[in-house]
Every structure is written in C-alpha cells, then in structure tokens.
A = this chain, B = another copy of it.
Amino acid sequence: MKSFFHVQDIGDLGAALKEALEVKANPFGWKHLGANRTIVLVFFNNSLRTRLSSQKAALNLGMNPIVLNVNGDSWKLETGMGVVMDSDKSEHLREAIPVIGSYCDIIGVRSFAGLKDMEFDYNETILKQFIEYSGKPVISLESATVHPCQAFADLITIEEHRTNKRPKVVLSWAPHPKCLPQAVPNSFAEWMNAADVDLVITHPEGYELDPRFAGNANIEYDQMKALEGADFVYAKNWSSTKPYGRNICRDSSWTIDKAHMDVTDNAFFMHCLPVRRNVIVTDEVIDSPRSLVIPEAANRVVSAQVVMKHMLEDMQ
C-alpha cells in the first residue's frame, strides 16, 4: 500500500473487514512485521483517540512509534512555494517532510482543513506534499477532507453490530458551536457507499457534501423522515459547503434526542468523538445501551493496525 487516504487504498473491502476482525481477535499475531520499523506520527492539530490508537496499533505490530507535535515540539512550517521566508516560519515543508521521511518507515499525518480556501483544502495540499516528498507510505490521520481510519473503524463497528444483510445507515448533521471540517462525513459517506449498506444523508441546506464523497447516497433534507426505520444513526457536525466553512445553521431541533431515535428501527447511535453532549446528542441517547461510541473508538486501534499491517507487509 503506497498511502492510506481513500477507501480504495485498503483494497478489497470485504477482505479488509474480515482481516480487521482477525486482527482484533489476535492483536499481537503480526508483531514480527514491525521489528526495527518506526512510524512518525505528525500532529499539526490536537488529537486524543487518533494519537493513542495509532501508537497502540503500531506497538501491537512491534513498531516503534514517535510522536511529533509540530507546533509544540518544533516550529511553524511554511507551505507556500517560492516564498521569501523572512517572517515567522522557520522551516519549509519541502525540507521537513523528506527529513521526517528519512527517519522512519511510515508517516501518519494529522492536518485539519483551514476552512478558508476550499480549493487548497480539497486539493489536500498538505497531505499530498507528504505523499510526494517523504518517500514513505503516508497515513491520513484526518487530513483536510478525509478521515479514513475513522471511517474504517466505523464500518468495522457496523459490521459487528448489524442484524440484517443491508442495514439502513443515516448520516445526520447536528449542531455545534464551532466551524468543523468535513473530513469525517466525507470519509464516512465514501466508505458506506463502498460497503453493502443503504446510506441516507440528512442535513440543512448549504451543507451538501462534495459529490465525490456523497456519491449515490440518498440526500434527505427532512431529518425525521431520513431517520425512519434506520438501523444506525451516525451523528456529526460539519461546517457548510455553500458558503464554505461557515456555521450557517444552529437549529437545535437537529440535536439527536429520544424523539429522533424513536422513529428509527431501534437504531444504534454512533459518533466519532469528541462529542458535545446535549448539543450534538442528548445524555439520554449517548448513555443508552444502543450507543456505540466507545466500541467505535476502540475499533480505531483495529483499523489503524490493519492499515499499518498492509504497509509493513509491502516492505517485507
């Protein structure tokens, strides 16, 4: 595997899901693969689950993880080409990336969308520079437009809990006080479209996901209608796409509460975390026995481990 970015990078999705369950059942079974291998995890933004689960996945495979917090540990990095670097940025990505690449076997990168320039974000400018200049396989640990480790973990969780062959999965927008990237809903839609599920996406107008990710999913602006008969409700806030990166709807009727869950087919509740309680979802729903938020987070080790395992196998 060259890099891990889109659903097709994992190869056959059914085989990957089967492999994920094997890895989960036997986490230390491939520990020999990572001997003398190092992964550098580069964080341009904060992280809790990704930071810990990526380290754990690497350790399970016998690798040495090294964490780099770009802003706290090193210095601001310039990303523009041809710039006269006489202000606050001490180093250019053109140097930093191949240097990091020279110290490791795999690179993981977290770099959120700036939400100011849609073209810059949707070109995955930072992540693509890592792929181009590092000389090493790169894992997106949530980049500007995708969060594939999360979406793969979500799919594993659905696979573990579904009771019918083709479950109805509803991705529902929910309110939030801040402007968040679209990476999680983009990847979730992309992976669900590639899997054997019936995907419905519901959100207010102006929040339409890029068609490259939304694909042929059913888009339904009436949230309650969308939720009818759902087997899985996946709540998530994202900022608007028209205009880009804004918080144009704060309508609290979109908060997932018991009334929303009541129209589903006793659906499981999912969220990638971190979640704002009583803004995205009520305490009652997230604390209910149908909430999968913790198993979903636990599966982040599994998805990351399968991805790293593929990369290590390619190095043998």
Contact = CB atoms under 8 A, between A and B. Distances in A.
Interface of A: 27-28, 31, 36, 38, 40, 43, 46-49, 51-53, 55-56, 59-60, 64, 66, 68-69, 72-75, 78, 82-87, 90-92, 94-96, 98-100, 102-104, 177, 273-279, 283, 287, 293-294, 297-298, 301
Contacts of A40: 52
19 contacts: A28-B36, A48-B73, A48-B99, A51-B73, A51-B74, A75-B274, A84-B278, A85-B278, A86-B279, A87-B177, A90-B274, A91-B274, A92-B275, A95-B294, A96-B274, A99-B273, A102-B297, A102-B301, A103-B298
A273 B91 CA distance: 8
Given A55-B66, A56-B66, 15 more contacts: A36-B60, A48-B96, A51-B73, A52-B99, A53-B103, A69-B72, A85-B277, A86-B279, A87-B177, A90-B274, A95-B274, A99-B273, A99-B298, A102-B298, A103-B301
A234 to B, nearest CB: 16
B72 A72 contact: yes
Given A177-B87, A301-B103, A59 B38 contact: yes
A27 to B, nearest CB: 8
A48 B274 CA distance: 29
Contacts of A78: 277
A36 B34 CA distance: 14
A103 B52 contact: yes
Copies of this chain, tallied across the complex? 3
Given A73-B46, A95-B293, A177-B87, A283 B52 contact: no
A298 B102 CA distance: 6
Contacts of A100: 48, 52
Contacts of A53: 103
A47 B96 CA distance: 11
Contacts of A75: 46, 48, 274
A18 to B, nearest CB: 22
Contacts of A177: 86-87
A7 B81 CA distance: 38
Report the 10 A-B pairs with minimum CB-CB distance, sorted nearest first.
Answer: A91-B274, A102-B298, A48-B74, A85-B276, A84-B278, A99-B297, A52-B103, A90-B274, A86-B177, A98-B294
Nearest to A97: B294
A28 B275 CA distance: 42
Contacts of A90: 274, 276
A294 to B, nearest CB: 5
Contacts of A64: 59
A104 B68 contact: no
